[in-house]
A and B are shown apart, each in its own frame.
Chain A
Amino acid sequence: MTKELLKGNIAFAEAAVRAGVDAYFGYPITPQTEALEYLSHRMPALGRAFVQAESELGAINMVYGAACTGRRTMTSSSSPGVSLMMEGLSYIAGTEIPMVLVDVMRGGPGLGNIAPAQSDYKHIVHGGGHGDYYPIVLAPANIQETIDLTYGAFELAEKYRSIVVILIDGSIGQMMEPAELPPMKPRKKQFPEWATDGCEGRPARFLTSISLDPPKQEITNLRILKRWQEARANEVICKEYFMEDARYAVVGFGTAGRVALSAVRTARAEGIPVGLVRPVSLHPFPEEVMKRLSKTLDGMLVVEMNNGQMLDDVLVYTKESLPISFIGRPGGVIPMAEEIYSSIQQLVNNPPPIGSSPRDRWFAKVCKEKGL
């Protein structure tokens, strides 16, 4: 296989095709639309299901129906569209069936803008839909990683009967990079014992998310938690760069992590012992990595393209037991490597007191700078 120049939105769409996706349902929304456009001809050409739905509500419920048949099913959208899908995601989680969602995040809240952002961390990682459920959330930082994670997402979803979300931002969706596509997998021919795909030669089945008897619903919720606990133990992915001898770490996912790597390289060139920790699985969060680093490092800098959504998780797992700083660019702004580098310098030269709120300190500085 050779590398091709691939756009992120096309790359994850083709990776899903090669992973054997049987059905795709979507709705146009920038900056994700190329995936829908691509699959609108690719899927029918392969004899697979494709529908451009009447809305994201329609799309996620088409996914729900198709996923109930036990076939590999996905959709993709961007932040406001994913808000509309939250109803369906909760039902799908409550029915305990697998599916894959790619969220190409943009600036919010509201209609916001179409620029890259990490605006959806909380509503994807910590719910969004109602009830107790736990999607597996993976955040690649380049096209190759987007391909590889999408390619494996269906098996992961099936293993845990869970929703798997590939969480990227508009820049990864829109950028082109050389990357290698994996081989075409044969489509599944065996379907799970719960699938409602017609009761030929077997007793009829049903799939539902309703359970009027609270103790039964309680068992369902605990069963969902049990599968999640297994995922939490087995599916953590976290990439570390220059961390062998590091005294400081920048923590960032996706594009923020990628930009931070440039800043880390600059700092290393200046002799600052800093590395990058890039959580790839946001859910399960690399809890143990955070716990370990909180005991060994002299400081941490969290970088995000939002107001500090992942920051709260970092604070939980580090128990704020070391100096932590934060820098965020919300609303569709990508941080510059220079500003991250300058924050690294500040962390090293003037470490903040332990336990002083990183967000408050960052925000006070931003308010002064922007005259808010």
Chain B
Amino acid sequence: MKIGVLMKQVPDTETKIRIKDDASGIVVDGIKWVMNPYDEYAVEEALRIKEKKAGSTVTIISMGPKRSVETIRTGLAMGADSGILIDDPALEGADCYATAKALAKVMEPENFDLILCGKQAIDDDSAQVPQMVAEFLGMPQAMVIDKLVVSDDGKKATCYRRIEGGAKEVLEVDLPAIVAAEKGLNEPRYASLPGIMKAKSKPFKEINLGALGLKAEEVGAKGAKLKVKKYFLPAEKAPGKIIPGEPEDAARALVKMLREEAKVV
């Protein structure tokens, strides 16, 4: 099988986010960049399918600035075979629509049998790119999947997702399709240290818009359907209140507060 994995480089989840003075974005200096955790599940799942189906290949595709190379290399060190980075200054300010368009364009000629990705990136949390890529490529989509079974003949995939009320929904899609990973799909492996050394010599290409046959107006800030007006941090939470006393008295006090102060009951 030929498997493509969409990957985004995001700030480490421990990062203390600071907003630029003009509120146009976040301060990126000193940020530690990592692979989007949901994309890690996608890479891991791709590698597991590859290990089961002889002759399979895994290609990691990312769009982002130059530094994204290091995160693609993490995927290669985990065991993926090749990487593609779409990197062009004109892509700055791309929204989900523009991003999906560029990603779809780069994947079109690859003829993947299966495309895996995370259900969302943990930086902007849009959770829209996978669906849009599926639309652009005219592929079936299965989103927020925590179990994936590819049929022996590689023609179908059975996808499991949790839905409201603790129930599971089971989807069957014809391949090629795009499947977006939810937490629980698997336990991602670490890049092994020898794998890190091998990653250096794996095929990797960088593509700009010209090579893709796209114009800046289509996919950059100008092609975006959504403009971010400003960034701001959420207001600091007020400290909680602990009600002292015996359970009965405390419950009474709590109800009183809910009624009189919070006015919710």
Query: Are the chains A and B members of one assembly?
Result: no
Residue positions of A touching B, CB distance < 8 A: none
Residue positions of B touching A, CB distance < 8 A: none
